[in-house]
Structure 1
Amino acid sequence: MNNLKIIKPDWVVPSNVYALQTVRNFNLKKKSNHTSKKELSNRYGLKFLNSNEIILNQMHSNISIELPSSERNADAAYTTKKKVICSVRTADCMPLLMTDEEGSFVSAMHAGWRGLSSGIIENTVKKINFKGEPIIWIGPHISQESFEVGGEVKDIFLKNDPTTEVAFDHGANGKYFLSMRRAAQIKLQKLGIKNISFMKDFCTYSNPEQFFSYRRDASSERMTSLIWIE
């Protein structure tokens, strides 16, 4: 793919399901209207991506939409249609890709702490008519060791789901360290989803050579997580 380094999720899915995770050298900005010549070149590295990827206007919400759709204000998308690419962009937030054992649908979710606490995972899962056991892959995001949050963040999580308390470790001065991966795992397991794969060396903050990190760099660059049915 034009020597671009792209990660293929390490999971077992049906042969009709394709998924990719971009890294630093696949330079996509947060907003689609900031596309540079380099970015366009990178996009065409994935051939039909430029015309088939539907870019969401991510808002850190719990809104999930079915594609194809004219709606763009959402933080998760799912589809049962072939060659319709569900994608999300992240640079510390957690991307989740989902399908099932039958390959009957695909979904991409953008879960920062706001979306994670307010139910982006639950809202997406509950909208989908599974034909087989669901399968999840969690991509690169900021690790617990690097993600210090205030007590108000913990309060929001516990108000919506008290069982997520185990996703927090105490820090200094009333701060906490949040494991978004643990919080997501708790929510997925409560929904009956057991087949969950995690990316190794996933921390965006502590891997500057491989990943963008908004908390580290305060830049607009993002990685993209994509999934589609062939």
Structure 2
Amino acid sequence: MNGVLRADWPAPAHVHTAISTRLNGCSVAPYASLNLGSHVADDPVLVQQNRQHWQRLAALPAEPYWLNQVHSTLCVDLTQADFSAGAVTADAAFTTKALQVATVLTADCLPVLFCDQAGTAVAAAHAGWRGLCDGVLEQTLAHFPDNSEVLAWLGPAIGPAAFEVGDDVLAAFIARQPQAEQAFKAVAGKSGKWRADLYQLARLRLQAAGVRQIYGGGFCTYTDESRFYSYRRDGQTGRMASCIWLS
């Protein structure tokens, strides 16, 4: 196994994906080993080596567009953005241009990849609970002309058995979408504590936005320590990349 995951969805043949694991890099603990995040206090030389290795390992056609992610709802159009001064602040990226690698970094938050049925546009979104609640998926979908023609794939994130949150998170989601309550389960013996299902929350929001084809899910970055980084499990740790592009 080379540590490269691919989205399992019926996308057009010229839509390509690559999702990294923590395997086959050169970073040392607590970032061992394929850390692709430059903002987590890892040795920048090792991060750059990892990024170059990832590009070869995943057969990316070009260097990914690395974002400065801030748990926002901003989605940048890569065909118009200026990365000459470094990373652009956004939590999602969209493109209609071939060989532009839209990329988000995660380590428990939910990466969501998008394409249209015709294979003319792709996008990647970083959906932590705040961004998901505030509408990062909807802001990403706004770049597509018809949400009913969009496919979405849910990548590796913290699973519903491991993601414990408080009343504030529950209330925030219900305020936006009352049906979100079904994605929360009370934690026995802990008043005001809930286990949240990020995958179900994302599906509910995507369905409400008109997306009919939703795939993926079922991972858990927290429990699958051998393959995935988890911020909630480890605190100081690396980041994984979810990439999508057109050929």
Same fold (TM over 0.5): yes
| Mean Cα deviation higher: 139-148 or 218-227 | 218-227
Q: TM-score, normalised by structure 1?
A: 0.91
1:61 Cα deviation after fit: 0.8
Is the CA contact (8 Å cut-off) linking 2:199 and 2:217 kept in structure 1? no
Is the CA contact (8 Å cut-off) linking 2:66 and 2:104 kept in structure 1? yes
Does 1:111 pair with 2:109?
Answer: no
Cα deviation, 1:111-163, whole Å, max 9, x if unaligned, reads 00000000001111122224972111100000111000011111111222222
Could you tell me how far apart the structure 1 residues matched to 2:244 and 2:115 are?
A: 9
Is the CA contact (8 Å cut-off) linking 1:151 and 1:176 kept in structure 2? yes
| Mean Cα deviation higher: 30-39 or 190-199 | 30-39
Could you tell me how far apart the structure 2 residues matched to 1:35 and 1:114 are?
A: 31
Is the CA contact (8 Å cut-off) linking 2:148 and 2:210 kept in structure 1? no
Q: TM-score, normalised by structure 2?
A: 0.85
Aligned pairs, how many?
227
Does 1:60 pair with 2:71?
Answer: yes
Is the CA contact (8 Å cut-off) linking 1:4 and 1:45 kept in structure 2? no
Could you tell me how far apart the structure 2 residues matched to 1:35 and 1:119 are?
A: 35
Is the CA contact (8 Å cut-off) linking 1:101 and 1:132 kept in structure 2? no
> Runs of 5+ in structure 2 lacking a partner?
26-33
Could you tell me how far apart the structure 1 residues matched to 2:183 and 2:170 are?
A: 9
Equivalent residue for 2:196?
178
Equivalent residue for 1:70?
82
Equivalent residue for 1:166?
182
Could you tell me how far apart the structure 1 residues matched to 2:61 and 2:35 are?
A: 12
1:52 Cα deviation after fit: 3.1
1:29 Cα deviation after fit: 3.7
In structure 1, which of residues 207, 212, 216 is the aligned counterpart of residue 229 of structure 2?
A: 212
| Mean Cα deviation higher: 40-49 or 55-64 | 40-49
Is the CA contact (8 Å cut-off) linking 1:168 and 1:179 kept in structure 2? yes
Equivalent residue for 1:196?
214
> Runs of 5+ in structure 1 lacking a partner?
none
Identity, % of aligned pairs?
A: 34
Is the CA contact (8 Å cut-off) linking 1:94 and 1:138 kept in structure 2? yes
- 1:13-52 to 2 correspondence within 5 Å? 13-25=11-23, 26=25, 27-31=34-38, 34-36=44-46, 38-46=49-57, 49=60, 51-52=62-63
Could you tell me how far apart the structure 1 residues matched to 2:57 and 2:146 are?
A: 28
1:35–1:150 CA distance, 2 compared to 1 (3 A):
farther
Is the CA contact (8 Å cut-off) linking 2:36 and 2:241 kept in structure 1? no
| Mean Cα deviation higher: 74-83 or 38-47 | 38-47
Segments of 4+ in structure 1 off by > 6 A?
Answer: none
Is the CA contact (8 Å cut-off) linking 1:29 and 1:220 kept in structure 2? no
Could you tell me how far apart the structure 2 residues matched to 1:40 and 1:178 are?
A: 32
- 1:67-146 to 2 correspondence within 5 Å? 67-68=78-79, 69-70=81-82, 72-130=88-146, 133-146=149-162
Is the CA contact (8 Å cut-off) linking 1:28 and 1:35 kept in structure 2? no
**Matched residue of 2:54: which SS?**
helix
Cα deviation, 1:76-115, whole Å, max 9, x if unaligned, reads 1100000001000101000000001100100000000000
1:132–1:103 CA distance, 2 compared to 1 (3 A):
farther
Could you tell me how far apart the structure 2 residues matched to 1:183 and 1:131 are?
A: 18
> Over aligned residues, Cα RMSD in angstroms?
2.1
1:176 Cα deviation after fit: 0.7
Could you tell me how far apart the structure 2 residues matched to 1:50 and 1:217 are?
A: 32
1:47–1:160 CA distance, 2 compared to 1 (3 A):
closer
